[in-house]
Structure 1
Amino acid sequence: MNVRALAAQVLNQVVEQGQSLSQALPAAQKDLNPKDKALLQMLCYGVLRTLPRLDFFCRSLMQKPLKGKQRAMHFLILVGFYQLLYTRIPSHAAVGETVNGAKALKKPALKGMVNGVLRSFLREQEALLEKAEQQDALKYCHPSWLVKRLQSAYGNEKAATIMDNNNQQAPMWLRVNVIHHSREAYKTLLDDAELSNFTALDDENKNALRLEKATDVYKLPGFTEGWVSVQDGAAQLAAHYLDAQQGDLILDACAAPGGKTVHTLELQPQLKQMVAVDADDKRLVRVQENLDRLKLQATVIHGDASKPDEWWQGELFDRILCDAPCSATGVIRRHPDIRWLRRDSDIAELVKLQKSILNALWAKLKPGGILLYATCSILPDENELQIKNFLENTADATLIALSEQHNDTTKGRQLLPNEDAMDGFYYAKLQKTG
């Protein structure tokens, strides 16, 4: 199999057909050996991180764009550019294997064209890179609408840092299951497995470990037994901030794939009941798989979080985690396709949906109960401004401190990408008075 051709096909599926990378990539990797699997992942992630810049090079070097049935060849050329600019693959090998990809894509007549464009790039890349630096969308490799939103929210300098962090590779975070081991005890197990390059967060995030180098999950001590899970450090804060108590009735709304559900159960196994709801029945399968691996119990329900009366007729909840659907602009470094699959017009629709879910879930919360609002977004409209609007229109809602360390009661907590090496996340903790 020609890995460059496979990469071109995956990229075409994502950019042109709107598939998520998390769907398209595993399907393409399934028959590859580990080395080729890693190469394919690197090429796909790399091209998606630098897409507008690579597109600009292609437009500059070709008289007319490749369309229709030839569109995959466009992405093959981008794969070639990426290798020449950003990898240690020798230029002759990068060009040769990419040119051979035309045959694998059943376009052997276009091998000469691919070869010519890549060799022209080798001659002109310095001038092309200089031109690319003059346009923000090309310089930062983000769509123009997102560049403008980030600059408006954070100022040009901070927005530039955010976008630079978005273009970095995300680290691998682990969550130690305290039912089995303390974090300190699990560190010893990692040392014994020669996976000793790790960093622990402070005591607010008591279960988190960051590996300096990603590894196969099945090499992690006790993974199949449920001793440890993979979850970003920022996402792990949800269960700590929710702070479930013994005997609580808990709702995890928009729960898939279930990481926050099971973490809550790990921290407090003696709940009255854990209810996990999601509108995507396919993703609910992942929730059940996580529960099964960790040998934990929850009531898993297929339902729309904005319409809880359709799936819940039980008593009011003590605590609710509202992990709201969002733009996912805080996890772009982990999912580089997000910036190309999202549109500026999506934000207003998401804000409307978040508002609907918040209001609907609030009605299912006991007086004195806690609702933790969470997103993996860094856009104020979905976060601080959403909560501000909710508080202004909800008489019995009060914003309270997330924890002793983060006790701001005015706007919640906004984490930006790569803050303490974590993803971008937002949290606000609301209490129902009366």
Structure 2
Amino acid sequence: MELPVTDPARSSPSTPSRSAVAPQGAARLTPSLAAQLRHTARCVLAVEQGRSLSDVMPQVNAELRPGVQALTFHVLRHLGTARALVGKLVQRKPEPAVMALLSSAVALLLDGPSAVAADGMPVTQPVGPHYEPHTVVNQAVDAARQDRSTQRQAAFVNACLRRFLRERKALLHSVAQLPVARWNHPVWWIERLQRDHPEHWAAILEANNQPGPMTLRVNRRKTTRARYQQALQAVGVASTPVGSDGLVLDVPQPVERLPGFAQGHVSVQDAAAQMAAMLLLNGRAWAPTDRVLDACAAPGGKTAHLLERADLDLLALDVDERRCERVHDNLQRLGLQAEVRCADAARPAKWWDGRAFDAILLDAPCTASGIVRRHPDVRWLRRASDVDPLVAIQHTLLEALWPLLKPGGRLVYCTCSVFRAEGAHQVSAFLERHTDAVSRPSAGHLLPGLAAPLGEFNDNPPGEYDGFYYARIDKVQP
């Protein structure tokens, strides 16, 4: 499962101007921090009310959007700490719009070493925009005055933020024992990780609060990785190979600066997501007549990677018609062809023609708990009660698709989740139910914050990955 809003720290180096106001007489004014903070607070409030940034961010004015997105991502990575601190600054909880603005401003004031760690361990602060403290206070007050929902509380906002500057150290110490403030994740999420990954949970949470690197996938039908790395060097962009087709950029770049992007030479895709095609295709020769199903294909990154590596008779399904259009667009840019159909993979009677598949890729709907560093809103949108229904959907998809696989065929099951219920536990239960299913060496759980995969899929060199789970399951011959 891939989410469309991209981290500005990964896909674009643009961040808000450090100056509050553009120089007088400039031909094009830089949006003020006050204007960006006002819209950032609105985005944060929308997330707190259950709306995804994928829906909210496109509504922000295009001129403001890069700065607002950078600020919003930064705030969401600090939101647990910021909320707790605001709770100490007020006698009673303010109106939601005021709370969102205060939390956003406090998050910006947390730049630099944090004193939140109650255990004495250092806390790695998320990378983000930097402003002078008094600039943040003044611009937050201006933001309050500019918005009808907060303008009557501008003096209150000013008093709270100035008190935070005066009492910063004591206030940070006062929230240090709160897990949400320490880790910037909901308590249920922290507790689940502690159960699922008792040795690595802290590293996962720390990694989630950092932007992920920008990783490219080179289209081997258009160029080679070595040649493309040289093309990057020619425009001053350094990179490091990862996996079979990937390049991790030392510094994120806007896609417009990537050589040959419009011509389909390269795509943006995390190293963990690039493992899907390699795991599905490795170990046998493929022919154009081999039938492959990408069961939950949108936005098409894994579909495209399969076709870049092999000539296949590929059917890409997705239940969302608009997301199917994105699959079409991505394939067109890359010069690839597949049958793309809007259909529910869990209901084969509605779309399957009765011809069995040689291979199936099931990138199942999940909590997205493994890609939080790129989508920091996910942690605040998910609820503990979301996990079991998603596990049930994954179960249904596995049971619906398994009969469509030829004997001797292979199915790759993956989720962008670090929760074992959506990974190892799901696959173990499937193998127990199906005597004709056998597990093959796979990546297992990839965990952000760890230097290398923990599983058995050793063809991939060590590297930094988003959180994913991979299992390859073969159907034995009768």
Q: TM-score w.r.t. structure 1 length?
A: 0.92
Aligned to 2:98: 73
Aligned to 1:43: 71
Unmatched tracts of structure 2, length 5 or more: 1-30, 112-128, 451-462
Cα RMSD (Å) = 1.4
**One-letter code of the match for 1:101?**
A
Aligned to 1:145: 188
Task: Quote the Cα distance in structure 2 between the aligned partners of 1:291 and 1:261.
Answer: 8
Task: Quote the Cα distance in structure 2 between the aligned partners of 1:414 and 1:321.
Answer: 17
Aligned to 2:175: 132
Aligned to 1:85: 110
Query: More helix by proportion, 1 or 2?
Result: 1
Task: Quote the Cα distance in structure 2 between the aligned partners of 1:135 and 1:94.
Answer: 25
Candidates 4, 9, 25, aligned match of 2:57:
25
Matched, 1:298 2:338: yes
Please say if residues 43 and 82 of structure 1, whose CA atoms lie closer than 8 Å, have aligned partners that are also in contact. Answer: no
Q: Which moved more, 1:417-426 or 1:333-342?
A: 417-426
Aligned to 1:167: 209
Question: 1:224 deviation in Å?
Answer: 0.4
Aligned to 2:272: 234
Matched, 1:191 2:233: yes
| Structure 1 residues 29 and 425, CA gap change in structure 2 (3 angstroms) | farther
Q: How does 1:316-331 map to 2 (within 5 A)?
A: 316-331=356-371
Please say if residues 29 and 40 of structure 1, whose CA atoms lie closer than 8 Å, have aligned partners that are also in contact. Answer: no
1:217-245, Cα deviation, whole Å (9 max, x unpaired):
01100000000000000000101111072
Task: Quote the Cα distance in structure 2 between the aligned partners of 1:25 and 1:337.
Answer: 12
**One-letter code of the match for 2:83?**
D
1:327-347, Cα deviation, whole Å (9 max, x unpaired):
111101111111111111111
Task: Quote the Cα distance in structure 2 between the aligned partners of 1:258 and 1:85.
Answer: 38
User: Secondary structure, in 3 states, of the residue corresponding to 2:316?
Assistant: strand
| Structure 1 residues 175 and 395, CA gap change in structure 2 (3 angstroms) | same
Q: How does 1:12-411 map to 2 (within 5 A)?
A: 12-16=45-49, 18-32=50-64, 37-67=65-95, 71-86=96-111, 87-106=129-148, 107-155=150-198, 157-195=199-237, 197-201=238-242, 205-243=243-281, 245-246=286-287, 247-268=289-310, 270-271=311-312, 273-402=313-442
Task: Quote the Cα distance in structure 2 between the aligned partners of 1:433 and 1:194.
Answer: 50
Question: 1:162 deviation in Å?
Answer: 0.8
Q: Which moved more, 1:37-46 or 1:259-268?
A: 37-46
1:333-390, Cα deviation, whole Å (9 max, x unpaired):
1111111111111111111110110010001111111100011111111111111100
Aligned to 1:405: none
**One-letter code of the match for 1:388?**
S
| Structure 1 residues 105 and 238, CA gap change in structure 2 (3 angstroms) | same
**One-letter code of the match for 2:171?**
L
Question: 1:74 deviation in Å?
Answer: 1.4
Runs ≥4 in structure 1, deviation > 6 angstroms? Answer: none
**Alignment identity in percent?**
41
1:141-184, Cα deviation, whole Å (9 max, x unpaired):
110101110011111x5211110011111111100000011110
Bigger relative contact order, structure 1 or 2 (CA pairs below 8 A, ≥6 apart)? 2
Aligned to 2:28: none
Question: 1:131 deviation in Å?
Answer: 2.2
Aligned to 1:6: 39
Please say if residues 297 and 317 of structure 2, whose CA atoms lie closer than 8 Å, have aligned partners that are also in contact. Answer: yes
Please say if residues 206 and 449 of structure 2, whose CA atoms lie closer than 8 Å, have aligned partners that are also in contact. Answer: no
Task: Quote the Cα distance in structure 2 between the aligned partners of 1:121 and 1:387.
Answer: 49
Task: Quote the Cα distance in structure 2 between the aligned partners of 1:146 and 1:357.
Answer: 25
Please say if residues 166 and 332 of structure 1, whose CA atoms lie closer than 8 Å, have aligned partners that are also in contact. Answer: yes
User: Secondary structure, in 3 states, of the residue corresponding to 1:40?
Assistant: helix
Task: Quote the Cα distance in structure 2 between the aligned partners of 1:391 and 1:5.
Answer: 52
User: Secondary structure, in 3 states, of the residue corresponding to 1:332?
Assistant: coil
Q: Which moved more, 1:22-31 or 1:56-65?
A: 22-31
Task: Quote the Cα distance in structure 2 between the aligned partners of 1:128 and 1:159.
Answer: 26
Q: Which moved more, 1:102-111 or 1:300-309?
A: 102-111
Aligned to 1:406: none
